[in-house]
Amino acid sequence: MGGICDIGIVGLAVMGQNLALNIARKGFNVAVFNRTASRTQDFVKERVKDETIFPAYEVEEFLSLLAPPRRVMLMVKAGQPVDDFIQLFAPHLSSGDLIMDGGNSYYRDTDRRTKEAEDKGFFYLGVGISGGEYGALHGPSIMPGGHREGYLMVKDILEKAAAQAEDGPCCTYLGPGSAGHFVKMVHNGIEYAFMQSIAECYHLLREVEELPAPSIGQIFEEWNKSEDLNSYLVEITAQVLQYIDPDTGKPLVDLILDQAEQKGTGKWASQVALDLGIPTPTINQSVIARNLSSFKEERKRISALFPREEAEKSDALSLHLEKALFLSELAAFCEGFHMLQEASSEFSYNLNLSEVARIWKGGCILQARLLNRIQEALKEEPGLLFTSPLFLEKVKDCLPSLRQACTLALRGGIPVPALSASLSYFDSWKREWLPANLTQAQRDFFGAHTYRRIDREGVFHTIWQKEEKE
């Protein structure tokens, strides 16, 4: 005997509630369950109107509402709660049932859980979901990975719930195991980088041009009309900067404490990129920038110890910054896709990178017109996409502006960790020779680590220091 619900959602905080409403509004019956019963009651009372949503207050009751094979989506806090719920449900599940984890789980946890599910005879999907609470309600970008058979059981539901771009739903099966959560982690790393580059442009316009927040907001509004920068993040930046606090009449952004918080997914992206040996400097510096911002008291004390540099005025600053921001955004995407390419082969995800770009075009925080070109470029040339014919001339055109913006910032003592990391990223790739020969010589000097030569084959070690005579 089975119930009438097409899917069950566990976890009724903001994401679970909105996803349940979204799926129900697409014509599906949705069972819902939450650890704390009062949250379920409040949800049903306050938000459920005509939607076919069926609350349950016990695990057995919840599972009995589901039509076989049962499909359960966990939307709970990442970490132990996911394992706890799997353990709670496992004894009641039948072979062929499916558990999905729609939270921001660490990809290695997802690999472990996929294996454990397999051993118990049910299917498992690690599902990255981007778009915040708005996306969950109106159509997010959905990044599922895990058992393909499991995906086929929910394909119709997920693809209908996802944002719809002009070339299809922003949801596709990405690959086995943790492919979905890995892609979501990289997505978040790129998101950190793009946000930090935007913040640095705001910093420069505020300090060099001495523009008030709403005027900077208008510049972002103009940028958002361009082919290169039109994106969700630039759009919301324009709105944030122009928002006036009703209590004080001042721009609200000026009243917000300058300490950036984080939930850790950007940090994971950096850590994993380092493990994979893939250079992701813009992403790394963006994580570091958030860390450094948290030391507010120390920054306050230290700022009094140094004279403040005068930033030079520059006539064309906003024009340079428009190009600089585009390049930094492109650098972040290059870094992210390079990482995905490596992970795809390292972890056998067999990712279709062009498809990843496609499903980021709607519903998600990264949605940007630029993704159309990235999607095209990745059909031809995976990895270092800035070398694609679709980008190469553009990069050459924008590099002097990125250099100009960084020079101005460095001279004026204005930190631009993401923009300068992007500049060094491009500058490093376009150098045939880098001073790593000296690094190799030093390593051989102190650790006998050996080196290779450019004039002959083989591996060499040198006694660099003359033996001291006794």
Ligand X SMILES: NC(=O)c1ccc[n+]([C@@H]2O[C@H](COP(=O)([O-])OP(=O)(O)OC[C@H]3O[C@@H](n4cnc5c(N)ncnc54)[C@H](OP(=O)(O)O)[C@@H]3O)[C@@H](O)[C@H]2O)c1
**Per this entry, what is the length of the chain?**
470
Cβ-based nearer residue to ligand X, 77 or 443: 77
Q: What is the DSSP string of 29-73?
A: -EEEE-SSHHHHHHHHHHT-SSS-EEE-SSHHHHHHTBPSSPEEE
Cβ-based nearer residue to ligand X, 20 or 340: 20
Cβ-based nearer residue to ligand X, 81 or 176: 81
Token pair for 293: 């911002």
The count of C-alpha atoms lying within 13 angstroms of the C-alpha of 459, restricted to the half-sphere facing its C-beta, is 4
How many Å apart are CA 366 and CA 231, to the nearest integer?
A: 7
Active site residue 191: yes
Per residue in 72-97, is it b (16+ CB within 10 Å) or e — as a string?
A: bbbbbebeeebeebbeebeeebeeeb
- Least distance to ligand X, CB of residue 9, Å: 10
**Contact residues: ligand X, CB under 6 A:** 11-16, 34-36, 39, 75-78, 81, 84, 103-104, 129, 132-133
Cβ-based nearer residue to ligand X, 15 or 238: 15
- Least distance to ligand X, CB of residue 82, Å: 8
- Least distance to ligand X, CB of residue 18, Å: 8
Cβ partners under 8 Å of residue 71, min gap 6: 6, 7, 8, 97, 98, 100, 153, 154, 157
How many Å apart are CA 171 and CA 180, to the nearest integer?
A: 10
Q: How many CB atoms lie within 10 A of CB 376?
A: 14
By the 8 A CB rule, do 248 and 257 touch? Answer: no
- Phi-psi bin for 363: left (phi > 0), alpha (psi -120 to 50), beta? left
- Least distance to ligand X, CB of residue 198, Å: 18
Cis amide bond preceding 69, omega within 30: yes
Residue found by looking up tokens 């915040």 in the block: 132
Cβ-based nearer residue to ligand X, 3 or 140: 140
Active site residue 396: no
Give strand ranges (E) for 17-122: 30-33, 53-55, 71-74, 98-101
Q: Which residue is nearest to ligand X (CB)?
A: 103
Given the residues 58, 133, 184, 469, the one annotated as active site: 184
Given the residues 45, 166, 191, 396, the one annotated as active site: 191
- Least distance to ligand X, CB of residue 402, Å: 31
- Least distance to ligand X, CB of residue 390, Å: 30
Cβ-based nearer residue to ligand X, 136 or 421: 136
Q: Which residues are catalytic?
A: 184, 191
